[in-house]
Amino acid sequence: MEATTVTRPRPEIIMRGYREAPKGWLGWLSTTDHKRIGIMYFAAALVFFVVGGAEALLMRLQLAQSESTLIDAQTYNGLVTMHGTTMVFLFVIPILAGFANYMVPLMIGARDMAFPRLNALSFWLLVTGGIVFYTSLFFEPPTAGWTMYAPLSDNAYLPDGGVDAWILLIHLTGASTLIGAINLIATIHNMRTRGMGWGRMPLFVWTVLVFSYLIVLAYPAIAAAVTMLLTDRHFDTAFFDPIGGGDPMLWQHLFWFFGHPEVYIMILPAFGIISEVLPVFARKPIFGYKAVAASTVAIAFLSMLVWAHHMFATPTATVVLGFFMISSMVIAVPTGIKIFNWIATLWRGSIVFKTPLYFAAGMVGLFTIGGITGVQLAVFPADWQLHDTYFVVAHLHYVLFGGSVFGIFAGIYYWFPKMSGRMLGEGLGKVSFWLMFVGFNLTFLIQHSAGMSGMPRRVYQYPDTGDLELYNLLSTIGSFVLGIGVVVTLVNIVRSVRNGKLAGNDPWQGNTLEWFTQSPPPPNNFDAIPAVRSVEPMKDIRREVAEGTGQQAGSVAQPVA
Amino acid sequence: MYKSAALLPLRPILLVGLAALLVLAPEASADLISPESGPSKNANDIDTLFKITLYIGIVIFLLVETTLIYSLIKFRARRQGAEAAQIRGNTPLEISWTIGAALILVMLATVTFVYLPGIKDPPASKASAIEAAEGSDYATINQKEPPGGNALEISVNAQQYIWRYDYEDSKDQLFSFHTLYAPVNTTVTLKIYSSDVVHSWWVPKLGGKADAVPGHTNETWFRADEEGTYEGTCAELCGEGHADMRTRVVVLPADEYEAWAEQQASDIKEAQDGLAEQREEREAADEDAGEVTPAQEKKTHKEEKNPPPPPGEEEGG
């Protein structure tokens, strides 16, 4: 335009041995791009979510009436096992891994994960694990519950291959998750952009880092346990068999030494999503960044010390029970800090009511209930009544569905525009939220009462005493409302992938670097990566642009190449 | 500046709701908001303890949820609304709610330990109890002996998918399946073990559950101060018949209990005599046919099928 324009030399990246990615499905099969792998994690996880949800609805159908004969006992036990295993190992963990895969490199200003090929390996191991597990449908699905308590899971009681399929699933998805976690740790430690110190790292990245360390600490325990179970079943060892000198309690200790950190593994990245979404939609910085990050670390540390609160009814010395009660209560403190900080983030904000905010606020409200019942369950004499009843089923769904899944849905609505370049429909999103919110509470609130009225979990029939049948009928109705709510979001996703409104680079006025690049981002993410000077780099950039041009910056992301 | 006008009409509703909840809570049917209770002290104490946690929980719940909903309504973005306040934190506030949360939990833990002995340790039988045997002589790190020692000891043997009750203080090797009979006002201490997989003994009205873990002995107790029939069930997934592994405790007046015990003992003896007779007949028939060993074989086979003795006894010896 003007003669005075100075052309500075442009740095050029010289790539050697670069091969164009194959087009079409082969491109997906052979990809090592963190974004494509992230999307595949999403697709796989959502498929398993639908399958696991269908299993849950079948169980609710069976329980709608007392002494129902729709489904027989072993089929029901199979559904119990498949539902729990699917949701934990094939839905929640993979979809969080999908978010981490897709978003972490973008949020820290990296071009990919540290080990792109390992990344692909961990995805394909996950898919293999899921397939191996579900082939057991064609012979005999496992029926001992996702906790697979010995000695019921021994070949003396369940000689069929279902338990072996479950063991292989744990090994394959466990390897997948461990490899993925190591990859994330390496990425976050080494590949943050200029200026992004620990105190400027987005909170979602903090939670993913802690999630990854927890995986590295907890997963070896379950890998060891299932290997011992495998040799007990097939090679005549007796780790868990009292007749051979083993002990069934060992299984419970090993399982829950993994199992309780696993609970936090499943919730921490959802916490991270909430900590990203609330500030953006309240147009306010997160309240107490350091406290929120530190409480994540504290929760992770404490989560390694609470496992035996799953074993309060076992023959265990009272002093041990007391220890695990106190450690379980202590963990409520950092969790409470998070909830208070989130609400304080909304306080005096200017809250924009978009679907991600609905799900994030819903998550805070529902998770609070799960947290309170969690403290009640930690009171071990009370747990002697509540343990293994529908009270626990209600509690764990308030934490895992009300907490993790609502958080995940907030993340889907928040980041879908970045991943697809298109917005999800707001109308359908809000309909989905209200159906899920109402359906969820109708399903699970009443289950607390069912448990306290004497209904144990994992039963395919229950006697028609008191109001049990009414409670269960309400719960079943609620579960279908919830199911419809989930389907509305799935429909929304399918419609919006092709027909959604174009998102642009930064539809929400985000705070973090993923909003700097195009939607969807190009293969190497960024043309030039901006230096980071605060925890909200996009705010800084918007301010600079506004100061430079004298007008409010809408979308300031890098120019389209 | 604008006031919280949006929320003002909601405030009385919230207050009324809160008041209604607190007033109605104890009135509501017991099993809607708290565990089962009634005839036995341990169940009643658990119920009280649970209600304390519940009331504290309700206060925290209302505090958190009303602040959340209030913030969402009051601070929603409006045209000409206030700009979002760029607050990054408030250390004194954050420290105080951390300490506040910790204090509530310290209080809860303290209350738990106050109630624990009443739930954990079996009390003495009431004066009107039946004269049970001299209590139990097993050593345990866990459950204290009831004071005075006048308690009935019953072994609970869980097996896929039935409960076997052995009345250890009876002189006739008394046992029953599925239904446990107990005298009223009498402390009953239970030793719980399993002969196959993990089960869990749970009769909600008579207290908490106790897992039956193979290779271990678990303990619990109850003292039913009211006659009646109390339903229970296995609470740990134990296989195909788990949902059908139900049980029942029938609490009888002392004289009726003793009459039952006598009748049951004679029924058992009769059945055993009948079996012995059959066995003799069969042996005689086998001898006639020239076979030598099946009786011996049958005997060892039967021994294997019997439940192993509770490990507690072995350890005690």
CATH assignment at residue A313: 1.20.210.10
| Span A436-448, average pLDDT | 97
- Whether the per-residue pLDDT at B304 is higher than 50: the answer is no
Q: What is the pLDDT of residue B135?
A: 45
Name the nearest CA neighbour of A538 among A519, A514, A517, A511. A511
Q: What is the pLDDT of residue A511?
A: 94
Which range is least confidently modeled, A16-20, A193-197, A282-286, A386-390?
A16-20
Q: What is the pLDDT of residue B18?
A: 59
Residues of B in contact with A74 (CB under 8 A): 240
How far is B20 from chain A, CA to nearest CA, in Å? 19
- Asked whether the beta carbons of A204 and A414 are under 8 A apart, the reply is no
Other beta carbons within 10 angstroms of residue A529's beta carbon come to 18
- Whether the per-residue pLDDT at A248 is higher than 80: the answer is yes
Q: Is residue A252 part of a domain?
A: yes
Q: What is the mean pLDDT of chain B?
A: 82
Q: What is the pLDDT of residue A441?
A: 97
Q: What is the pLDDT of residue A416?
A: 97
Residue B187 to residue B121: CA distance in whole angstroms? 11
Q: What is the pLDDT of residue B31?
A: 62
Share of chain A above pLDDT 70, in %: 95
Confidence class for position B300, pLDDT limits 50, 70, 90: very low
* Interface contacts (A, B; CB < 8 Å): 271
- Asked whether the beta carbons of A270 and A403 are under 8 A apart, the reply is yes
Within 202-231 of B, beta carbons closer than 8 Å to A belong to: 202, 204, 207-211, 213-219, 231
Residues of B in contact with A364 (CB under 8 A): 68
Q: What is the pLDDT of residues A151-172, one digit of tens each?
A: 999 999 999 899 999 999 999 9
Q: CB-based contacts of B253: which residues, under 8 Å, 6+ apart? A: B183, B184, B227
How far is A269 from chain B, CA to nearest CA, in Å? 21
Question: Does the distance separating the beta carbons of B75 and A346 come in below 8 Å?
Answer: yes
- Whether the per-residue pLDDT at B1 is higher than 50: the answer is no
Residues of A in contact with B242 (CB under 8 A): 73, 77, 458-459
Confidence class for position A139, pLDDT limits 50, 70, 90: confident
- Whether the per-residue pLDDT at B276 is higher than 60: the answer is yes
Mutation target to probe the B interface, by most B beta carbons within 10 A, among A384, A453, A457 is: A384
Q: CB-based contacts of A78: which residues, under 8 Å, 6+ apart? A: A141, A142, A143, A162
Q: What is the pLDDT of residues A488-541, one digit of tens each?
A: 999 999 999 999 999 999 999 999 999 999 999 998 898 888 889 999 999 998
How far is A249 from chain B, CA to nearest CA, in Å? 8
CB-nearest to A381 from B76, B85, B116 is B116
Residues of B in contact with A343 (CB under 8 A): 64, 67-68, 71
Residue B169 to residue B182: CA distance in whole angstroms? 12
Mutation target to probe the A interface, by most A beta carbons within 10 A, among B202, B234, B237 is: B237
Residue A493 to residue B144: CA distance in whole angstroms? 61
Question: Does the distance separating the beta carbons of A459 and B233 come in below 8 Å?
Answer: yes
Q: What is the pLDDT of residue A558?
A: 58
Q: What is the pLDDT of residue B224?
A: 94
How far is B81 from chain A, CA to nearest CA, in Å? 8
Question: Does the distance separating the beta carbons of B72 and A348 come in below 8 Å?
Answer: no
Q: Is residue A272 part of a domain?
A: yes
Question: Does the distance separating the beta carbons of B35 and A314 come in below 8 Å?
Answer: no
Alpha helices in A64-190 (DSSP H): 73-85, 93-107, 116-135, 162-190
- Asked whether the beta carbons of A52 and A108 are under 8 A apart, the reply is no
Which fold is adopted by the domain B124-317? Immunoglobulin-like (2.60.40)
Copy the structure tokens of residue B48: 């009280």
User: Does the N-terminal peptide bond of residue A523 adopt cis geometry, omega within 30 degrees of 0?
Assistant: no
Q: Is B186 helix (H, G, I), strand (E, B) or coil?
A: coil
> CA A110 from chain center: how many Å?
23
Confidence class for position A22, pLDDT limits 50, 70, 90: confident
Q: What is the pLDDT of residues B13-66, one digit of tens each?
A: 556 665 665 555 544 455 688 898 888 999 999 999 999 999 999 999 999 999
Q: What is the pLDDT of residues B131-170, one digit of tens each?
A: 765 544 444 446 777 776 678 999 999 999 999 999 988 8
- Whether the per-residue pLDDT at A70 is higher than 50: the answer is yes
Residues of A in contact with B85 (CB under 8 A): 284, 348-349
Copy the structure tokens of residue B127: 């004066």
Residues of A in contact with B234 (CB under 8 A): 456
| Cα-only R_g, chain B | 29
- Whether the per-residue pLDDT at B313 is higher than 50: the answer is no
- Asked whether the beta carbons of A284 and B87 are under 8 A apart, the reply is yes
Print burial letters for A394-416: b (CB count within 10 Å at least 16), e (below 16). bbbbbbbbbbbbbbbbbbbbbbb
Strands B179-183 and B246-252, sheet pairing: parallel
Quote the ipTM score.
0.91
Q: CB-based contacts of A296: which residues, under 8 Å, 6+ apart? A: A203, A206, A207, A210, A268, A271, A272, A334, A338
Looking at residue A425, what DSSP letter applies?
P
Q: What is the mean pLDDT of chain A?
A: 93
Q: CB-based contacts of A519: which residues, under 8 Å, 6+ apart? A: A417, A418, A419, A420, A421, A503, A504, A505, A507
Name the nearest CA neighbour of B145 among B165, B164, B125. B125
> CA A324 from chain center: how many Å?
25
Q: What is the pLDDT of residue B229?
A: 95
Q: What is the pLDDT of residue B172?
A: 81
Structural domains counted in chain A? 1
State the residue range of the domain holding A109. 37-549
Copy the structure tokens of residue A560: 């389209």
Question: Does the distance separating the beta carbons of A384 and B46 come in below 8 Å?
Answer: yes
Confidence class for position A6, pLDDT limits 50, 70, 90: low
Strand order in the sheet with B199-202: B179-183, B246-252, B228-234, B199-202, B210-212
CB-nearest to A315 from B84, B108, B218 is B218
Residue A443 to residue A438: CA distance in whole angstroms? 9
How far is B221 from chain A, CA to nearest CA, in Å? 13
Domain boundaries, chain B: 10-75+92-120, 124-317
Question: Does the distance separating the beta carbons of A73 and B208 come in below 8 Å?
Answer: no
